[in-house]
Amino acid sequence: MSLSLSDFVNYKSIVIQCHDNPDADALASGFALQWFLRRRNVDARFVYGGKFPISKANLLLMSEHLGIEAEHVTNLDKPELLITVDCQYGESNVTQFDAENVAIIDHHQVSAALPEMSDVRSTYGSCSTIIYELLQKENVDINSDINLSTALYYGLMTDTGGFAEISHPSDRDLRDFAHFNPEDILLFKNSNLSREELSIAGDALNCARYNGEYRYGIIEAAPCDPNILGIISDMFLEVSGVDTCLVYSVLPFGVKLSVRSCIKEVRAGELASYLADGLGGGGGHMYKAGGFLKKELLARINVPYEKELLEKYINHRMLCYFKDSVIIYAKEHREDISDYSRYVKKDLSVGYVEASKLAKPGRKITIRTLEGDVDVTVEKDLHIIIGVNGEIYPCTGTHFKRSYKELSAPYVFPGEYPPAVIDVENGEHIAILPYAKSCLTQGGNGIYAKELTHRVKIFTSWDNQKYYLGNIGDFLAVRADDTSDIYVINRDIFFKSYKPL
């Protein structure tokens, strides 16, 4: 399901609603949508329900400086269209108002059936990012109004722990391309915490729990602003004997998580997404990450929403994470392949771009993909391959000639986020796809592979700093012509790319 903002302009009465106890992302999203509709000469109210009007200092400043008019309401005349932003209609933190039609724009996990007009992208760090992309689709440049760009930037910033927990490339785009007002951001940022919240941090630090075997720690903090959790976890990680930590807080509508790690065996973003799997959403990068467990989804797996039982559940999940993963260091590892089967590559049509078309040799570029940013230096014969699921990998000219055959058919991109390149020196954003051509992968000696029945983390022989994760159902593969080369292949990509010999 998807939508366009211009779908809304034909309705006669429109109300935009964000969740109760709005945060900066909710305010920014509603504000931006209202801004767009006004530009199209459609008047829409922006409201929120719940017991309390906004009282946090940073949100009051944000509203005042950027001209955000969110009204706190207890009832509403039935509008022809109600659009909920940063939340889903019918959820427990969204006061329910009657409406003839409902639309939803949100970045949380889906918790119930969605109406026809919905755009929910659970892998995005903020709802502001979705609105930014929807505005782009309408050819609106957010930088044409500094209050708009500042609001969206601040919404993303606060929802991702000051960008530390960003994982989707679209979030990076908003972070990099919004020309915000730095004075406003500095002011909001430094009015973020109340004195009470500072005390919450102090109390929380007194109740740390430790696991000596796996060297991790867990802290529960009383309900507070999510930013407090990041401050606590940053400090917690500095404790000697703590390599990984989780700080969480049980809020009325879900459990907010903050994760940190300082060892290469645990990527914070991967741990956060493990903990939040199917329950909300989690992500980030190597050292810092965040997540959210929705109350509604915890109920669905029969975890009662009570402090002690949540504590037990979270302790258990954290322990499972460490116990369930086998770590393989390919450099020191010899895999017994006696129960493996042999596979060879199918003839597959993939895409490629000659890097020198994007920037001059010698220039540093960042390739922005769904899996993360990849930095490369452009060389004369460097090729960038776009794989079967839109994944990106660099390849030298020699290797390209040996393993791929150029095709004349036009290239069609299969993935969700079209890869782009950023010239590191001037910040220029270059779309890759206009330069992409098709090619065919060519045979090779194939691999030995086996389906995984447990989680593995592999430090491959070509990258011993960052592990590749294999989940149950993915495949562990060993190159037939070099059995020291062991790696994982995603289940979906495996079946698309290989056939039994």
Q: How far apart are alpha carbons 59 and 65 in whole angstroms?
A: 10
In 276-334, where does DSSP find H-type helix? 295-300, 307-324
| Closer residue to Mn ion in complex, CB, 225/474 | 225
- Within 376-405, the residues that bind Mn ion by CB under 5 A are none
Q: How far is the CB of 134 from Mn ion (least distance, A)?
A: 15
| Residue from the set 20, 119, 159, 270 that interacts with Mn ion by CB under 5 A | 159
- Within 237-296, the residues that bind Mn ion by CB under 5 A are none
| Closer residue to Mn ion in complex, CB, 226/470 | 226
Q: How far is the CB of 427 from Mn ion (least distance, A)?
A: 27
Q: How far is the CB of 125 from Mn ion (least distance, A)?
A: 8
User: Beta-carbon neighbour count of residue 416 at 10 Å?
Assistant: 13
Going by C-alpha positions, the residue among 179, 166, 15 that lies closest to residue 83 is 15
Q: How far apart are alpha carbons 344 and 105 in whole angstroms?
A: 43
| Closer residue to Mn ion in complex, CB, 226/269 | 226
Which amino acid is it at 201? A
The string of DSSP codes covering 389-430 is TS-EEEE-HHHHHHHEEE--SPP---SSS--EEEETTT--EE
Rounded to 5 degrees, what are φ and ψ at 370? -60, -30
Q: How far apart are alpha carbons 66 and 35 in whole angstroms?
A: 11
Cα distances (Å, whole numbers) of residue 422 to 156, 172, 176: 20, 11, 10
| Closer residue to Mn ion in complex, CB, 159/165 | 159
Going by C-alpha positions, the residue among 63, 58, 69 that lies closest to residue 186 is 58
Q: How far is the CB of 291 from Mn ion (least distance, A)?
A: 13
Choices 20-28, 42-50, 129-137, 202-210; region in contact with Mn ion by CB under 5 A: 20-28
Give the residue nearest to Mn ion (CB). 25
| Closer residue to Mn ion in complex, CB, 27/127 | 127
- Within 462-501, the residues that bind Mn ion by CB under 5 A are none
Binding residues for Mn ion, rule CB under 5 A, total: 4
Q: How far is the CB of 22 from Mn ion (least distance, A)?
A: 10
Q: How far is the CB of 69 from Mn ion (least distance, A)?
A: 19
Choices 22-30, 318-326, 384-392, 416-424; region in contact with Mn ion by CB under 5 A: 22-30
| Closer residue to Mn ion in complex, CB, 27/488 | 27
Decide if residue 184 touches Mn ion (CB under 5 A): no
| Residue from the set 20, 25, 119, 225 that interacts with Mn ion by CB under 5 A | 25
- Letters for 74-113 (x = contact with Mn ion by CB under 5 A, - = none) are ------------x---------------------------
Q: How far apart are alpha carbons 76 and 71 in whole angstroms?
A: 11
Contact yes or no for 291/283 (Cβ under 8 A): yes
Choices 17-25, 34-42, 222-230, 482-490; region in contact with Mn ion by CB under 5 A: 17-25
Q: How far is the CB of 250 from Mn ion (least distance, A)?
A: 18
Token couple for 141: 């440049």
Rounded to 5 degrees, what are φ and ψ at 160? -125, 30
Complete edge-to-edge strand list for the sheet that includes strand 14-18: 71-72, 44-48, 14-18, 81-85, 101-106, 117-120
Decide if residue 20 touches Mn ion (CB under 5 A): no
Q: How far is the CB of 106 from Mn ion (least distance, A)?
A: 8
SS3 content of the chain, % helix, strand, coil (to 5): 30, 30, 40
Q: Which residues bind Mn ion (CB under 5 A)?
A: 25, 86, 127, 159
